[in-house]
Amino acid sequence: MTDTLTRPVPDALTEAQELAAELIGDRAGAWDVAGELPLEVLRKLGARGVLCAEVPSAMGGLGLDSRRNGELTAYVGSLCSSTRSIMTSHGMAAWMVSRFGDRGQRRDLLAEFTSGRLAAVGFSEPGAGSDLSALTTEVRADGEDIVVSGRKMWVTGAQYADYVMVLARFGDAAAVVAVPTDAPGVELVPIDTAVLGCRAAGHINVLLNDVRLPASALLGGGGQDLTMLFTVALSYGRISVAWGSTGIVRACLKAAVEHARHREQSGKKIGEHQLVARHLAELFVAEQVSTRVCEHASAAWQSFSPDLVLATVTAKHVSAGHAAHGSSAAVQVLGSAGAVDGHVVARAYRDSKIMEIIEGSNEISQLILARHALSQQY
């Protein structure tokens, strides 16, 4: 018999996973078909610190290290990539506040981000996708205020968000601005066709029509280097997407193995047919490899390693690729059973393609990795 004295105390990671299991459960397929997440689920996850779990407990977060936050991200990703996308964006927003905000901004914004208020990240623009140096959104000082003008595209979670962290030009330099989505001049324009993947993640185009805000909305007073700003922010985003992709691989491995164990064709379980067994072996390897590169990236993050950027790009590139190939293999193993809208492997197949585009596309990752290879003596 266990009592309150002998029962093990659940740690923050276990509690966060249990909360995600309770709130998401098996509802992701229905949310995917509906193209929308329940806002109260996001608010509850946010209020318990799950969406930005690395924020220190003194600031209201869970204080998880990168690897444990990664395992949490993979778990959420295995259940629902749309919710995991919100987690990546919200976590990236909190990371930018932690990294670039002044003391007051860290206190105030992180308190909001860990109490159920939601944040998204606006980098991309019509003319600035892979090449963020082409962005034209601008913030300028005007008396005591600042004024933000421009257009941000594909902002994950902006449908639900209270803030969009906007990357903008600021004179000869750059800045991140915490723009409340209800500020006068902010126009939220839904993407009116169904998105290929992460369909419930609330992607919105955000128009910034001379949005006037107090200067305190400018993280750290602005004036930072543009490349430094997006490289630092994307490092968090890449680790998060890498772990999320690992979660997709885990969900696919589980679904494929369960199906191959039970489904019989030609007088035996399909897992005993060698060509099906090959898919299972590839999925098993995909899970192992993705986990290892993510662990390596999280270790680099935790130790402030000079190889951090390389490790995060590698992890994202490898895990996204395994998610894309692995989900295709899983659909193949399930056959028609997996070819229906909202099914975990059908969702994974569409969601994983997005992982090869965001936070640096496959091609951009390969260019970074090739540049590194060329700089080495082998």
Q: How far is the CB of 195 from ligand FAD (least distance, A)?
A: 6
β-pairing, 186-190 vs 204-214, is antiparallel
State how far the Cα of 366 lies from the Cα of 370, in Å rounded to an integer: 6
Q: What are 195's two structure tokens?
A: 């998105």
Using only the alpha carbons of the chain, give its radius of gyration. 21
Instruction: Pick the closer one to ligand FAD by CB: 128 or 293.
Output: 128
Q: How far is the CB of 62 from ligand FAD (least distance, A)?
A: 23
| Degrees to nearest 5, angle at CA 359 with 353 and 362 | 55
State how far the Cα of 206 lies from the Cα of 165, in Å rounded to an integer: 11
Q: How far is the CB of 310 from ligand FAD (least distance, A)?
A: 18
* Cα–Cα distances in angstroms (integers) from residue 21 to residues 107, 118, 142, 184, 262, in the given order: 30, 20, 47, 38, 25
Under rule CB under 6 A, residue 369 binds ligand FAD = no
Task: Pick the binder of ligand FAD from 82, 105, 124, 319 (CB under 6 A).
Answer: 124
Site for ligand FAD in 156-175 (CB under 6 A): 156
Under rule CB under 6 A, residue 361 binds ligand FAD = yes
Q: Which residue is nearest to ligand FAD (CB)?
A: 129
State how far the Cα of 263 lies from the Cα of 250, in Å rounded to an integer: 20
Q: What are the residue ranges of helices labelled H in 127-269?
A: 226-262
Q: How far is the CB of 156 from ligand FAD (least distance, A)?
A: 3
Question: CB within 8 A of 221, min separation 6: which ones?
Answer: 102, 215
- Residues in binding contact with ligand FAD, number by CB under 6 A: 21
Q: How far is the CB of 305 from ligand FAD (least distance, A)?
A: 25
Q: Nearest 5°: phi and psi at 190?
A: -60, 150
Q: How far is the CB of 166 from ligand FAD (least distance, A)?
A: 9
130 near 136, Cβ under 8 Å? no
Site string for ligand FAD, 92-121 (x = CB under 6 A): ----------------------------xx
State how far the Cα of 149 lies from the Cα of 129, in Å rounded to an integer: 18
Under rule CB under 6 A, residue 221 binds ligand FAD = no
State how far the Cα of 215 lies from the Cα of 217, in Å rounded to an integer: 5
Under rule CB under 6 A, residue 302 binds ligand FAD = no
Under rule CB under 6 A, residue 231 binds ligand FAD = no
Under rule CB under 6 A, residue 358 binds ligand FAD = yes
Task: Pick the binder of ligand FAD from 100, 154, 230, 236 (CB under 6 A).
Answer: 154
Site string for ligand FAD, 247-266 (x = CB under 6 A): --------------------
State how far the Cα of 334 lies from the Cα of 368, in Å rounded to an integer: 36
Q: How far is the CB of 162 from ligand FAD (least distance, A)?
A: 15
Under rule CB under 6 A, residue 239 binds ligand FAD = no
AA letter at 85? S
Interface residue list for ligand FAD (CB under 6 A): 89, 120-124, 129-130, 154-156, 195, 198, 203, 354, 357-358, 361, 363-364, 367
